[in-house]
Structure 1
Amino acid sequence: MTEMRIIAEPGVPQVILVREFKAPRELLFRAYTEPELVQRWLGPRNLELVVNQLDPRHGGRWRWTQYDQDGKGYVFHGLYHGTPSPERIVQTYEFDQAPGTVYLNLITFEETGGVTTLTQNTVFFAVEDRDLYVDGGMEHGLRTSMRRLDDLVTQLAEEAQP
């Protein structure tokens, strides 16, 4: 589909990601909320992802660990706000190596004619937090994850065809 767009304006504590997928939004929603699917697309290929917890409901928690080749773990966690649906997911996000730096993700899935536009709006409390996120390899991780997500939902869509 289309290449991913990242909007990260200097001085604004926000990063917006936009990407289209040739798949129904229900498949994208499943990919975000089913542990066995999350493990197949989230993060760089050189890291192993273990979904420790994924409870997609209002007040539910999510937690995963990415392991590098040396076995070092990187833990991410957060809470869901509101009931996740194929239209949108609202969640907080925190990296254990930066405790107290919490940001809010609003992920929307908008489908038109079999094409779903995924928009992820990530809001930070401070520009400095956003800058650390951007400077910490965010773009590479997002691009890799979105390519992997595209491969996954394409496969799921093909499997669903009669």
Structure 2
Amino acid sequence: MSTAETLTVETPAAREIVLTREFAAPRALVYAAYTRPELLRRWFGPHGHQLVECEIDLVVGGNWRYVVQAPDASTMTIRGRFREIVEAERLVSIETNDDCEAETGTETLSTLTFDERDGRTTLTNTLIFATQEVRDMMLELGMQHGMGQGYERLDTTLAQVQA
């Protein structure tokens, strides 16, 4: 499998997950796919899932909210607040999954960085959880597999947008 098709998952610290993936697209486009609802709806979530609600207030202090519907019609709500925005370079937010919050009662610090080289973008998503137990629970639930499938869908979306 080539680098462009591989999601790297690392746990460099007790509360941290770092996901890295390369895309065959300029970083401005990958950034747009993360910040424009019309593009997010095309790729966000695992195979068979659909982003049925997508709200983004792309300003520091602004909120975002996604509702993802599974093939069985169940839904998952993810929401957050932007702490830092550097266009086409970096997005930092505090986020929570409403469906897991009852179990964990915690928020996660998410930092997305977009690094371009030769027209290809390396996306790094660093997640810092409140506790190691929450991090381990997310890995056990297969969060990395769902994100990997979402990134496969993002590959397809980026190719279509560039065509």
Question: Same fold, TM exceeding 0.5?
Answer: yes
Query: In the aligned structure 2, how far is the partner of 1:107 from the partner of 1:61?
Result: 16
Which ranges of structure 1 fall in alignment gaps of 5 or more residues? none
SS at match of 2:145: helix
Post-superposition Cα deviations, 1:82-124, rounded to whole Å, max 9, x if no partner, equal 2341000001110112223210110000011111111111111
Is 1:62 equivalent to 2:64 in the alignment? yes
Amino acid of the structure 2 residue aligned with 1:14: E
Post-superposition Cα deviations, 1:43-86, rounded to whole Å, max 9, x if no partner, equal 11222212341111101111111122343221111111123410
Among 5, 17, 22, the alignment partner of 2:8 is 5
Is 1:30 equivalent to 2:32 in the alignment? yes
TM-score with structure 1 setting the length: 0.90
Q: How many pairs are equivalent?
A: 157
* Contact 2:66–2:77 under 8 Å retained in 1: yes
* Contact 1:20–1:115 under 8 Å retained in 2: yes
Query: In the aligned structure 2, how far is the partner of 1:91 from the partner of 1:78?
Result: 6
Instruction: Give the % identical residues.
Output: 34
> Which residue of structure 2 lines up, in the alignment, with residue 145 of structure 1?
150
TM-score with structure 2 setting the length: 0.90
Query: In the aligned structure 2, how far is the partner of 1:51 from the partner of 1:62?
Result: 10
* Contact 1:57–1:84 under 8 Å retained in 2: no
Instruction: Give the structure with the higher percent helix.
Output: 2
Amino acid of the structure 2 residue aligned with 1:97: D
